[in-house]
Structure 1
Amino acid sequence: MYLRLAALGDSTTYGIGDPVPGGWRGWARLLAGALATSYDVSSCNVAVSGATATSVRAEQLDTALAHRPDVASLVVGINDTMRSAWDPARVRDDLMTCADALHGSGALLLTARFHDHGSVFGLPGVLRRPLAERIETVNRVYDEIHATYGGLRIDLATRPEVTDRRFWSVDRLHPSELGHRVLAHAYAGLLAVAGIACEPPSLVAAGGYDPSWRRDLAWMMAEGGPWVGRRARDLAPWAVRMAWTEVRRERVLV
């Protein structure tokens, strides 16, 4: 039986955190491989590192629709919360437009609710709480998508693996190989319940590269440092405003 899969999103869906010779793999490719144990799979992963809801709509949606997917994943929004140009109304419009188009094409939607990234990062409360509020705003959009279009979704906040350091790569933003395997395994389980059964991906992190301090350092030098620099320039003014707002709020409550 033929099955078409399209994956839209940002760096997590692209596969960052799960290195293999020649590039990245990630949960979407692991899921495609698992589905291939039962189906003749045509997979289209159009995710891009750094993508926002707006860029998914503008740059990924048409290509995904042209693939005529039976199953389509839409997992994006965290990059939006980490930008000073945060616009919740636009994020909702972009995500709802993508979901409507994918569902309208006949695809079964795969989505996610996000956890509190700030707690995983170890951010202080004055920064973690404003970020958590933005993430919850994105989650409410995904709640609306799920209520409107159905589909299958993972609630990361309820999964105990998210608090396990082994779930995360060195940057604590992207899943490790194990984390990607957990995500692929979870989606495979949901698909099986929906009647699209396959042999789920292994939860043993045997592929890719073993983590080491040398690779962690190499990543931080080549990727992590520049990423932090870009985000710091964008977010520093917002972070200062939010921290000051939180301090004032705490003083009022006292």
Structure 2
Amino acid sequence: MGTHEYRRYVALGDSQTEGVGDGDDRTGLRGWADRLAEHLAEAAPGVGYANLAVRGRLAAAVRAEQLPAALALRPDLATVVAGVNDLLRPGFDADETGGHLEAVFAALTGEGVRVATLTFPDVGRITPLARPLAPRVHALNDRIREAARRHGVVVAETAHHDVVTDPRLWSADRLHASPLGHARIAAAVADALALPGSDDAWTRPLPPRPVPGALRAAAGEVAWAGSFLGPWLLRRVRGRSSGDGRAAKRPDLLPVDPAGGLAGSGAAGR
């Protein structure tokens, strides 16, 4: 499909696609999907963009809640990025999660939609306390690749590049990308889709930075555990999600301003 044909872009997923880490709930979230929509608009003015992603959503919820809404919008381009919330759960099953994602891929491509997704970095390289999750990340990435291959889905292989685990690409909670990280994700997806003006610059490392000493690094781990890991575990124990009571920030196809001001995006309606 030619780039000029991308006139209706719909993003499905969880907090990363919603834009958590790039802005806030008071001023509004931007995020990589918004940035990708802006890139599309530079090449094809008049493109419409909807973002159905909601933080905390599991792959099953993306399939059950977001897929019908996405199909109703009749997109010609969709991005589907989910599964991290699943792999953080004690009962994670890579085949089950991959099956939900594959069902979304199949339904969208079956309607002639161009679909893009991405693989995930090893979270253990972002925070040492998450190292036991590495096998889960690799298993999920394998299922995503297999499903994508079967359905002709474009994959942005972010997992293959060291830069994606640079701390500067991640927010303080180490679960969500920083503004710079969201910009790199958008660039990776644009590159995978071969959009005009895209290239592999997103794979290049950032300038060197001072490496913290062992004592400072250990203090940082303790601070992170108290500020972010503890509250996250408490929500799990209580059976709550960060997305409880939230709706999609941009449920309708609305015009995109390539300068960065998306009509209808932001904190309103949350």
TM-score (norm 2): 0.70
Residue number in structure 2 paired with 1:143: 145
Map 1:128-139 to 2 at 5 A.
128-129=131-132, 131-139=133-141
Residue number in structure 2 paired with 1:52: 58
Q: Could you tell me which amino acid in structure 2 is paired with residue 118 of structure 1?
A: G
CA–CA distance in structure 2, aligned partners of residues 75 and 16 of structure 1: 14
1:12 aligns with 2:48: no
Instruction: Determine if contact 2:8/2:76 at 8 Å carries over to the other structure.
Output: yes
CA–CA distance in structure 1, aligned partners of residues 166 and 91 of structure 2: 31
In structure 2, relative to structure 1, the CA distance for the partners of 1:22 and 1:224 (3 Å cut) is: farther
1:182-206 CA deviation, whole Å, 9 max, x = no partner? 1111222222x3xx42579x98xxx
1:114-157 CA deviation, whole Å, 9 max, x = no partner? 1111221211xxx623x112222211211112211223222222
Task: Find 1:77's aligned residue among 75, 80, 83.
Answer: 83
Residue number in structure 2 paired with 1:177: 179
Q: How well do the aligned residues superpose, as a CA RMSD in angstroms?
A: 2.5
Residue number in structure 2 paired with 1:95: 101
1:26 aligns with 2:31: yes
CA–CA distance in structure 1, aligned partners of residues 114 and 168 of structure 2: 30
Instruction: Determine if contact 2:7/2:76 at 8 Å carries over to the other structure.
Output: yes
Instruction: Determine if contact 1:121/1:173 at 8 Å carries over to the other structure.
Output: no
1:38 aligns with 2:37: no
Instruction: Determine if contact 1:38/1:199 at 8 Å carries over to the other structure.
Output: no
Residue number in structure 1 paired with 2:118: 112
1:197 aligns with 2:202: no
Q: Could you tell me which amino acid in structure 2 is paired with residue 24 of structure 1?
A: L
SS at match of 1:37: helix
1:153-187 CA deviation, whole Å, 9 max, x = no partner? 22222223223211000111111000000111122
**Structure 2 stretches of 5 or more lacking a match?**
203-222, 240-270
The Cα shift of 1:86 comes to 1.9
CA–CA distance in structure 1, aligned partners of residues 38 and 9 of structure 2: 11
Q: Could you tell me which amino acid in structure 2 is paired with residue 79 of structure 1?
A: N
Q: Could you tell me which amino acid in structure 1 is paired with residue 75 of structure 2?
A: P
Residue number in structure 1 paired with 2:156: 154
In structure 2, relative to structure 1, the CA distance for the partners of 1:46 and 1:175 (3 Å cut) is: same
CA–CA distance in structure 2, aligned partners of residues 160 and 136 of structure 1: 15
Q: Could you tell me which amino acid in structure 2 is paired with residue 13 of structure 1?
A: T
The Cα shift of 1:84 comes to 2.0
Instruction: Determine if contact 2:191/2:198 at 8 Å carries over to the other structure.
Output: no
CA–CA distance in structure 2, aligned partners of residues 148 and 81 of structure 1: 22
CA–CA distance in structure 2, aligned partners of residues 134 and 198 of structure 1: 34
SS at match of 1:51: coil
CA–CA distance in structure 2, aligned partners of residues 47 and 142 of structure 1: 18
Q: Could you tell me which amino acid in structure 2 is paired with residue 104 of structure 1?
A: G
CA–CA distance in structure 1, aligned partners of residues 238 and 131 of structure 2: 18
**Structure 1 stretches of 5 or more lacking a match?**
204-216, 235-254
Q: Could you tell me which amino acid in structure 2 is paired with residue 120 of structure 1?
A: I
Identity across matched positions, percent: 41
Q: Could you tell me which amino acid in structure 2 is paired with residue 57 of structure 1?
A: R
TM-score (norm 1): 0.75
In structure 2, relative to structure 1, the CA distance for the partners of 1:224 and 1:46 (3 Å cut) is: farther
Aligned residues: 210
Determine which structure has greater relative contact order: mean sequence separation of CA pairs < 8 Å that are 6+ residues apart, divided by chain length. Answer: 2
The Cα shift of 1:83 comes to 0.8
SS at match of 1:89: helix
